[in-house]
Structure 1
Amino acid sequence: MFRNTFLALLLLLTTSTNLEVVVAQERAESPNVILIMSDDQGGGDYGFMGNDLIRTPHLDTMKDQSGFLSNFYVSPVCAPTRASLMTGRYNYRTRCIDTYIGRAMMAPEEVTVAEVLRDAGYQTGIYGKWHLGDSYPLRAMDQGFQDSLVIRGGGIGQPSDPIGAEGKYTDPILIRNGEEVPLKGYCTDLYFDAAIDFIEETVKTEQPFFTYIATNAPHGPFHDVPDELYQQYQQVDFAPIIIGQVSDKRAKAEQDKLARIAAMITNIDDNVGRLMGELERLGIRDNTIVIYLNDNGPNTRRYVGEMRGKKADVDDGGIRSPLLFHWPARVPADQTSDELCAHIDVMPTILEACGIEPPMENPMDGRSFLPLLTNEDPRWPTRQVIFQAHRGDVPHPYHHFAIHEAPWKLVHPSGFGRERFVGEPKIELYNLNEDPRQQHNLVDERPQVTKRLLAAYHDWFEDVSSTRPDNYAPPRIVIGTEHEPSTVLTRQDWRHIQGTPWAAGSNGLWKLEAREPATYRIELIFRNAPPSASATIRAGEASERVEIETGDPRGHFATMELPAGQFDFQVDVDVDGTVRGPHQVIVSRSLETDSQ
């Protein structure tokens, strides 16, 4: 009997051990993923891209140890790039078409890479800049990220800043899992701190993780930068990387701005080095994918290699980014590909690397570039990749677009800052293999190529614009749910209707939705202490008048019954006959009161 019991226990232990080995092997085969994207860094702001003035030693080392895509493209501005990065789809399919005033919000029905990985058993975390919606159901925490420490809006120093922390890169107030939290330290350091903490905690669970670190550096404003690095860069002459003529009057200011930008970039690089060291310490570096890219071109006219253009341009300097893909377990060191790839390819690549099927409900436009870096199947078909972005409520055909089909680039650089161009499009065609600076327009010399690519662009525009009925209607903020009982409405997400966007005298309205009628407490917040005024709050057919007393920027309340369904929410503040909007509004529903 003893012998039989011993054999049974031995069999049980052996089976248990074998199961643990199988589970461990399955976990080992699922790589961790870290996606890092800087903001306004620019494709030439790296030592490995030929920049001798801005120091990026850790990224230079990472490049030597990683796969490298040398012909990789992003959108000309940040929110569109982020929408494509998260979904594998052109941003025009996602309702995200601009960077502010309600048009940087992504449709909540889009399926993000975080949602797919979470559902496959990954722990997911985001640290830094989301820029695809600040309120339910548009937040990162509503779109697949289980842990989040983020800024609101498109950057620190914008109207979406939490009250009391306006413009603070150092000691900011950030949003942790939906709640405002004051923190000590420089913002980029804080993002990496939180990401490393998340990784360390997840490693203990033996679950794979997806970590998205999206810095708001080196985006402006530039008043608050790492001081020690700034002092070092003040000694550097940046004249060799400044593009174009700069007057003597502007030269000093431009030098100082670049010293600040360079300090922010080197600070990011230092944090990348710290992160890679932590992966080594934790013993997970070999099977952790680390991807690094920037979101668009540089935020000043500075070095971009053999290209022309900067941020917001559809010329190559505005939409090119190097992409590093570090995965020692699968990708040989210094494996380079010059095939045409783009932001829409990142999600399908991550999913293939993780052995996860893509979502069926929202087909991706991108394709996995993993075979280019693993040498498993290096064949890459000739493809067309298209970029378009401009201001305004809806995209306009032929306005500020570029279509790429190697080696060709067909482009109409009509300007990001205007809602639409006037007159016939002035199309340009370049052979980028022979003319990377876009100096020799071939539109008259190669009419058949021009005609073919124009037709392809037209078909693409029609396709992405018909993704859903009313495709370019802005998403709505949903108020009064258990997910977000108090909603902060900022100028980032309002639909602008008066004055210059974000200026003191401007006004706008928010597109809201409530699932059921309820009583709300509404607080009006002003940028500065207001003079005596009156405010009229309108929510659909309902309205309420509030008297504003001179004094505190906060503490101006009203109680309103808000209807169910979709409605416009607007606040008109009348100051001596001049109407303007508030700085922010907090709309709060007490769910506890409702249930009593």
Structure 2
Amino acid sequence: MTFTLDRRTMLAASAASLAAPALARTPVKRPNVLFILADDMGYADLSCYGRRNYETPAIDALAAQGMRLTSGYANSPVCSATRTALMTGRYQYRLPVGLEEPLAFRDMGLPPDEPTLPSQLRKAGYATSLIGKWHLGAAPKFGPRLSGYEHFFGIQGGGADYFTHASGRGHDLWDNETTAGEHGYLTDILAREAIEQLGRHAADSRPFFMSLHFTAPHWPWEGPNDQAESARLAATGEPAAIFHYDGGTMATYAAIMRRLDEKVGEVLAALQQLGLADDTIVVFTSDNGGERFSDNWPFSGRKTELLEGGVRVPLIVRWPGRITAGSESAVPVMSMDWLPTFLGLAGSAPAPERQSDGVDVLPVLLGSSMPVRPLFWRYRHLDQASCRFGDHKYLRINGNEFLFDVVQDPLERGNLKARQPSLFADLKARWTSWNETMLPFDPDSFSHGFHAKDMADRFGVE
């Protein structure tokens, strides 16, 4: 793969060499963090996780250089709820915004006074930036720069056209609080901005935390050569056209994924060229399970479902010199774990008034194990509830209850409820006790998301 830095990035890199000549040569005591989040990516949508009809060589290389986790979990089967947990390090159901599932039509968001991963890292001396998708409330009440990010470039909403950058709210591409008039394919634009921001971070003496939240492979179903489809959607004049339920093909999805992989590769190449790679932890994961064209094998279920396919996600972590290259772990790690993990590496800790529900997973990344802990989920539509504890999982969906061994039976086909009644009762009781500590569902929340009709068809509910 060839890669060249543009003029602005080269100038920033030159400034870095003058302002902080030791940055590229001497590992910093506190690592930088580059957190790359894909949107709606299925567990097996990367070739290093099993995708068969296309390849993702850049992200595969990242896995070969670090650790591939096979029990990576999203906090929710939908977007905003997981992002709430990622930002706060707590179960999303502790905050009203986390009940929206997903955040769509109400004027709600992540409260600016809520301690977040970027705000707490910033207090610890880190430079912070978000490139890409926010989806935790719209300006002026809410926004990335009100919640700890010093710099923001991306979209505020849940999805935007890849070419016009329009969403249901209109044009939705921003440079901080100013509308960005960038032209081109959104994945390309976000990668280019990330590379330029890396140059700015290299010129800063502080360690950095960069969130790079791509919109790919989230709908609309537009590959890098699908300008005609973008124009067709724009011509309808309807905000809902971005969903185009009749759109897309497997070939289109492959094109979206290949371009994402290519641009991740360019960002990682820039990190190397700027002399930052050895001092930077890189995480690659997804906000929830895959959707229409995703491959979630060997799991059943998908986005909006608490079957494993809705919450099990690819998870890759690279930290040169600390994480063993080519290693693998089956220890469950969840979105909310990153806040205590990164704060620990920064020499800090979660805010005393907001203790994290996650745990520091550094021992896992360094090749050790952790005590078994229960992990919990709930999703209002179809009355879904789930608890994983060890190899087993309690699941409730549409009035039916199950006990699965998700290690031996990843497809969740063999219901062990009658065979192991005491274990079933234990996991169910754990979930019930946990749920009593969470906020109740908000009857006015947009809980069904954009997939309610699809799920009703699949599960036979009106």
Shift of 1:60: 0.7
Shift of 1:110: 2.3
1:114 aligns with 2:118: yes
| Aligned counterparts of 2:108 and 2:37: Cα–Cα separation in 1 | 18
Q: How many residues align?
A: 408
Distance 1:89-1:370 versus aligned 2 partners, 3 A rule: same
Shift of 1:94: 2.2
SS of the residue 1:227 aligns to: coil
Kept in 2: contact 1:94–1:107 (CA 8 A): no
Equivalent AA in structure 1 for residue 287 of structure 2: D
Q: In the TM superposition, what are the counterparts of 1:278-293 in structure 2 within 5 Å?
A: 278-293=270-285
| Aligned counterparts of 2:257 and 2:397: Cα–Cα separation in 1 | 28
* Structure 1 residue ranges without an equivalent (≥5): 1-19, 231-252, 392-397, 415-424, 466-470, 475-493, 502-596
How big is each residue's C-alpha offset from its partner over 1:182-216, in whole Å with a ceiling of 9 and x where there is no partner?
11121111112111111101211222111111111
Kept in 2: contact 1:88–1:344 (CA 8 A): yes
| Aligned counterparts of 2:256 and 2:174: Cα–Cα separation in 1 | 22
Shift of 1:430: 0.5
**Corresponding residue for residue 194 of structure 2:** 195
Kept in 2: contact 1:80–1:104 (CA 8 A): no
| Aligned counterparts of 1:372 and 1:387: Cα–Cα separation in 2 | 22
Kept in 2: contact 1:104–1:131 (CA 8 A): no
Equivalent AA in structure 2 for residue 225 of structure 1: G
How big is each residue's C-alpha offset from its partner over 1:285-332, in whole Å with a ceiling of 9 and x where there is no partner?
111111000111111164212111111110001110121111103111
Kept in 1: contact 2:290–2:310 (CA 8 A): yes
**Corresponding residue for residue 207 of structure 2:** 208
How big is each residue's C-alpha offset from its partner over 1:134-184, in whole Å with a ceiling of 9 and x where there is no partner?
1234211100001001212211159xx9xx85359xxx7511111212111
**Corresponding residue for residue 128 of structure 2:** 124
How big is each residue's C-alpha offset from its partner over 1:12-64, in whole Å with a ceiling of 9 and x where there is no partner?
xxxxxxxx999999971121111111111111101011112132110111111
Distance 1:306-1:332 versus aligned 2 partners, 3 A rule: same
**Corresponding residue for residue 385 of structure 1:** 375
SS of the residue 1:211 aligns to: strand
| Aligned counterparts of 2:374 and 2:155: Cα–Cα separation in 1 | 34
| Aligned counterparts of 1:104 and 1:301: Cα–Cα separation in 2 | 30
**Corresponding residue for residue 66 of structure 2:** 66
How big is each residue's C-alpha offset from its partner over 1:548-592, in whole Å with a ceiling of 9 and x where there is no partner?
xxxxxxxxxxxxxxxxxxxxxxxxxxxxxxxxxxxxxxxxxxxxx
Equivalent AA in structure 1 for residue 32 of structure 2: N
Equivalent AA in structure 2 for residue 462 of structure 1: E
Shift of 1:104: 6.4
**Corresponding residue for residue 81 of structure 2:** 80
**Corresponding residue for residue 32 of structure 2:** 32
1:258 aligns with 2:259: no
TM-score, length basis structure 1: 0.64
| Aligned counterparts of 2:313 and 2:331: Cα–Cα separation in 1 | 13
SS of the residue 1:62 aligns to: helix
Aligned counterpart for 2:354 among listed residues 352, 362, 386: 362
| Aligned counterparts of 2:25 and 2:187: Cα–Cα separation in 1 | 35
SS of the residue 1:386 aligns to: strand
Structure ranking higher in strand proportion: 1
Aligned counterpart for 1:448 among listed residues 407, 416, 422: 422
Aligned counterpart for 2:436 among listed residues 459, 462, 473: 462
Which moves more between the two structures, 98-107 or 321-330? 98-107
Structure ranking higher in helix proportion: 2
* Structure 2 residue ranges without an equivalent (≥5): 1-19, 229-245, 451-462
**Corresponding residue for residue 235 of structure 2:** none
How big is each residue's C-alpha offset from its partner over 1:252-278, in whole Å with a ceiling of 9 and x where there is no partner?
x78x52222221111111111101111
SS of the residue 1:279 aligns to: helix
SS of the residue 1:198 aligns to: helix
| Aligned counterparts of 1:390 and 1:266: Cα–Cα separation in 2 | 34
1:295 aligns with 2:297: no
Equivalent AA in structure 1 for residue 373 of structure 2: R
Distance 1:23-1:36 versus aligned 2 partners, 3 A rule: closer
Shift of 1:225: 2.2
1:141 aligns with 2:152: no
Equivalent AA in structure 1 for residue 328 of structure 2: T
Equivalent AA in structure 2 for residue 218 of structure 1: P
| Aligned counterparts of 2:51 and 2:85: Cα–Cα separation in 1 | 28
Kept in 2: contact 1:63–1:334 (CA 8 A): yes
Kept in 1: contact 2:23–2:275 (CA 8 A): no
SS of the residue 2:149 aligns to: coil
Equivalent AA in structure 1 for residue 307 of structure 2: D
Aligned counterpart for 1:405 among listed residues 389, 400, 407: 389
| Aligned counterparts of 1:326 and 1:229: Cα–Cα separation in 2 | 35
Kept in 1: contact 2:380–2:441 (CA 8 A): no
**Corresponding residue for residue 183 of structure 1:** 182
SS of the residue 2:387 aligns to: strand
| Aligned counterparts of 1:21 and 1:363: Cα–Cα separation in 2 | 38
Shift of 1:372: 1.1
| Aligned counterparts of 1:90 and 1:325: Cα–Cα separation in 2 | 22
